[in-house]
Amino acid sequence: MAEEEELKHEHHEQDLPLVLLLGLDPSSLQKFFPKLFSKFRFVSPYELPDKSMDQFLINHAQSIKVLICEGGGEAVSINSEVLNCLPSLECIVSVSAGVDHIDLTESKRRGIVVTNAGTVFSEDVADYAIVLLLDVWRKISASDRYLRSGLWPIQGEYSLGHKVGGKRVGIIGLGSIGSEVAKRLQAFGCSIAYNSRKKKESVSFPYFSNATDLATNSDVLILCCALTDETYHIINKDVLSALGKEGVVINIGRGALIDEKELVRCLVQGEIGGAGLDVFENEPNVPKELFELDNVVMTPHSAVLTPESFSALHELTIANLEAFFSNKPLLSPVNYE
């Protein structure tokens, strides 16, 4: 009887749709996305660590039609070399909002559809951007360190922070996350302006066609855009200079949106007022010069890390895979335009 049940289980597993995992440890994925493993069968290079990526794909993934991957600092790049090893691939499901780890031009040329996390992270990431901004301006983390170090009774009151209400906020990238940031900051009484690929007719905020002009007219810049060839180092020396000595930069997008060396120089030399950074150009490596600066708040790429967002991502990932294998419309396709 036990043998029959085991055979049934094996046959059931073999009947499940096959999905390739790249850049994701199956054991970690199973921990956070358990239901996936009851609906799909997975193959991963983690199973054969002695083989190169190309060898594994050539030997074990020639018939694969769909893969799951994630973005971030240590993501596997889904480039033309990887795609050459996957001749049957039709769909890439990214479990991150950003898709800068995927060659979208090559994917489009090959007729491969791409999905991402859609809007499931938008509210949590927007909350995080506000928290970083509040922390930098009100000096919450810095004053916490001051208190814990025993300096309050010795040196007296900590230095003044800045009021949030009434400040001029420039948002770079007024998509789903940027719009949520704007909504939250309007409640503080801030004035909002933005830079985006093009002017959005549906919003009344002032639009600036380049980041330098936006910086000139802002007290803080909040980066919410995707990382593309056009937005790489969109925050450069000229933009930081335009932002000025009291200006603040908040980045919850991708690290390479900022010329990190120039940002470090400006912060160390006091040419801008502060920064709140959840992402970095060479993650997980962070410039050590920033560690001693009280006007810089840093976190380890954790803006999306809530149980609620992971649960929503779990359901979205399953829904996208089920839609693909059922020849139905995908729920969060990436727009190639």
301 is catalytic: yes
State the number of CA atoms in the 13 A half-sphere of 1 facing the CB: 0
Q: CA-CA distance, 86 to 76, in Å (whole number)? A: 15
User: In this structure, which amino acid lies at residue 252?
Assistant: I
Alpha-carbon torsion angle 128, 130, 131, 137, nearest 10: 150
Query: Is residue 307 helix, strand or coil?
Result: helix
Q: CA-CA distance, 337 to 329, in Å (whole number)? A: 18
254 is catalytic: yes
Residue bearing tokens 């040419």: 271
Query: Is residue 252 helix, strand or coil?
Result: coil
Q: CA-CA distance, 218 to 206, in Å (whole number)? A: 11
Q: Which is the catalytic residue, given 180, 260, 281, 301?
A: 301
Q: CA-CA distance, 69 to 42, in Å (whole number)? A: 12
Peptide bond into 284 cis (omega under 30): yes
Q: Which is the catalytic residue, given 90, 106, 271, 283?
A: 283
283 is catalytic: yes
Give burial (CB, 10 Å; 0-12/13-18/19+) of 42. buried
Query: Is residue 107 helix, strand or coil?
Result: helix
Q: Which is the catalytic residue, given 70, 123, 180, 254?
A: 254
Structure tokens at 165: 């209400």
Q: CA-CA distance, 279 to 209, in Å (whole number)? A: 24
Q: CA-CA distance, 184 to 182, in Å (whole number)? A: 5
Torsion sign over Cα 286, 292, 293, 298: positive
Torsion sign over Cα 265, 245, 168, 298: positive
Catalytic residues: 254, 283, 301
